[in-house]
Amino acid sequence: MFDELLDIDLAAAESELVERIAAMERLKSAAAAVQARLTAALDSGRRAAEAVAGVPAARRGRGVAAEVALARRDSPSRGNRHLGFAKALVYEMPHTLAALESGVLSEWRATIVVRESACLDVDDRRRLDAELCSDPAALEGVGDSALAADAKAIADRLDPHAVVDRAATAETERNVTIRPAPDTMTYVTALLPVAHGVSVYAALKREADISCDARSRGQVMADALVERVTGRPADQPVPVAVNVVVSDQMLLGAEQGAAVIAGYGSMPSSVAQKMIMNTVTDERSRATLRRLYANPDSGALVAMDSRSRLFPKGLAEFIELRDQRCRTPYCDAPIRHHDHAIPHSRGGATSAENGQGLCEACNYAKESPGWQVIAGVGESGVHTAEFITPTGAHYHSAAPPMPGTPKIPRSAAEVYLNGELVRVIAA
């Protein structure tokens, strides 16, 4: 059946191509509805089985969202959204589910309806569902913003107190996150209450209004944000540890490739070299150099120099530098927990081989019944982890290679000597 879907005539008439595009969109929506039904069934079956097994009610269903995320090749945080979305549609919002199934709503637009009704109790949520989505014709041509506004208006009318309580709860979820942006830039995002967010933006905008230098408006606002958060001008180093991993050859400019900044990701080695050289030559900076030892063939990080003046030592930092991000497949979250693949309570060693970096959510998920992680180091020195879910599905994870892995084959003598060097260092 899948092959038939891919059997398309790219030379067909334009009207036929447009109709085929529309048909594929309807098919995507129908598939999303089926996924929702399957997800809800998985959760219900897992909870029933755990109830029979005597698992406490508060712990039933843990790990289901992470398992759904792996099956969908998605991050664990999105797995929670997928699970909540599915349960809301199947158990509380039949009209929205029918609209999704028929292709009137896309998965994203159905998510908007579910999201805006989340603050209501079950009865009010069903009323919103019927009022907004029982007539498919009324949904045709409605944009995302208009759909969200309609759902909000109905929710306000059905239970205004719930909407107010939801807004109050939202303030407790304020946070700041960081993620990579193209061209060695980064997005620092703050989720703030509306009054604070507007005042922050207004203050930065005012700074740009009174500026009279050659910088653009956006540059002035960005520099002002850095200065007000750090207390220093944007061009002045801040006394915060930033781990940059780069090979010696790239640092000296003999090779070009990629460097890695812990918590950010990959960047061109020439940019990292310039960053390091600027820091080293700035008298106000306190830069330190730490040696990391990688397997020359695979690039796997196998040891770390224990001598350091300013940075904390220990196995935890080694694991963070080796793994860089949460080791669960498809999860790019920052490392929050240094985890025993085989739990310490079951005899798991506190070692680099049994250790892995995980985000908080993934660590809690793998502690649920039926989950198993098998960690080890392969012949090439790459640290691997095999995640086995309660349904028996296997997912593989490997630590990323360090920058500057040579591509020149080594002799048997070189392989032996390198192995002995690593063994001595690691000991």
Query: Taking the mean position of all CA atoms in its chain, how far away is CA 126?
Result: 32
Query: Taking the mean position of all CA atoms in its chain, how far away is CA 130?
Result: 35
Read off φ and ψ for residue 102, nearest 5 degrees.
-85, -10
Checking if the pLDDT of 25 tops 50, the result is: yes
Question: Three-state SS across the chain?
Answer: CHHHHHCCCCCCCHHHHHHHHHHHHHHHHHHHHHHHHHHHHHHHHHHHHHHHCCCCHHHCCCCHHHHHHHHCCCCHHHHHHHHHHHHHHHHHCHHHHHHHHHCCCCHHHHHHHHHHCCCCCHHHHHHHHHHHHCCHHHHCCCCHHHHHHHHHHHHHHHCHHHHHHHHHHHHCCCEEEEEEECCCEEEEEEECCHHHHHHHHHHHHHHHHHCCCCCCHHHHHHHHHHHHHHCCCCCCCCCCCCCEECCHHHHCCCCCCEEEECCCEEEEHHHHHHHHHHHHHCCCCCCCCCCEEECCCCCCEEEECCCCCCCCCCHHHHHHHHHCCCCCCCCCCCCCEEEECCCHHHCCCCCCCCEEEECHHHHHHHCCCCCEEEEEECCCCCEEEEEECCCCCEEEEECCCCCCCCCCCCCHHHHHHHHHHHHHHHC
More confident residue, 133 or 315: 133
More confident residue, 170 or 108: 108
More confident residue, 421 or 49: 49
pLDDT confidence of residue 306 = 43
Nearest to 250 by CA among 224, 226, 271: 271
More confident residue, 148 or 170: 148
- β-strand partners of 388: 372, 394
- Strands 292-294 and 394-398 turn out to be unpaired
Tokens of 372: 């198993």
Residue type, 199: S
pLDDT confidence of residue 333 = 86
More confident residue, 196 or 263: 196
Average pLDDT over residues 4-11: 75
Average pLDDT over residues 145-174: 88
Average pLDDT over residues 166-175: 84
pLDDT confidence of residue 167 = 77
Average pLDDT over residues 105-129: 95
Question: Please, is 344 exposed, middle or buried when counting C-beta atoms within 10 Å of its C-beta (0-12, 13-18, 19+)?
Answer: exposed
pLDDT confidence of residue 84 = 95
Q: Give residue 419's pLDDT band: very low, low, confident or very high (50, 70, 90).
A: low
Read off φ and ψ for residue 410, nearest 5 degrees.
-105, 155
Distance between the two ends of the chain, CA-based, in angstroms? 56
Q: Give residue 137's pLDDT band: very low, low, confident or very high (50, 70, 90).
A: very high
pTM over 0.85: no
How far is residue 199's CA from residue 234's CA, in Å, rounded to a whole number?
21
pLDDT confidence of residue 376 = 86
pLDDT in tens, 344-395: 778 787 777 888 889 988 988 888 888 999 998 876 778 899 999 999 999 9
pLDDT confidence of residue 291 = 59
Average pLDDT over residues 190-196: 87
pLDDT confidence of residue 74 = 92
Checking if the pLDDT of 424 tops 60, the result is: no
pLDDT in tens, 291-322: 565 665 555 655 554 443 332 446 788 888 88
pLDDT confidence of residue 105 = 96
Cβ atoms of residues 270 and 281 within 8 Å: no
How far is residue 326's CA from residue 387's CA, in Å, rounded to a whole number?
13
How far is residue 169's CA from residue 82's CA, in Å, rounded to a whole number?
21
Give the residue carrying structure tokens 């879907």: 5
Cβ atoms of residues 344 and 331 within 8 Å: no
Q: Give residue 97's pLDDT band: very low, low, confident or very high (50, 70, 90).
A: very high
pLDDT confidence of residue 346 = 80
Q: Give residue 70's pLDDT band: very low, low, confident or very high (50, 70, 90).
A: very high
How far is residue 288's CA from residue 329's CA, in Å, rounded to a whole number?
33
Give the residue carrying structure tokens 């306190």: 286
pLDDT in tens, 27-46: 999 999 999 999 999 999 99
Give the residue carrying structure tokens 């860089």: 324
pLDDT confidence of residue 389 = 92
Q: Give residue 264's pLDDT band: very low, low, confident or very high (50, 70, 90).
A: low
Average pLDDT over residues 103-121: 94
pLDDT confidence of residue 307 = 42
More confident residue, 175 or 288: 175
pLDDT mean across residues, the chain: 82
pLDDT in tens, 395-413: 999 988 776 655 556 566 6
Least confident window among 77-81, 118-122, 275-279: 275-279
How far is residue 90's CA from residue 92's CA, in Å, rounded to a whole number?
6
Which percentage of the chain shows pLDDT scores above 70?
77
Which percentage of the chain shows pLDDT scores above 90?
38
How far is residue 125's CA from residue 113's CA, in Å, rounded to a whole number?
10
pLDDT confidence of residue 229 = 87
Least confident window among 104-118, 219-233, 240-254, 382-396: 240-254
Nearest to 354 by CA among 385, 392, 332: 385
Return the domain boundaries, the chain: 2-169, 175-230, 288-427
How far is residue 273's CA from residue 252's CA, in Å, rounded to a whole number?
8
Read off φ and ψ for residue 158, nearest 5 degrees.
-75, -40
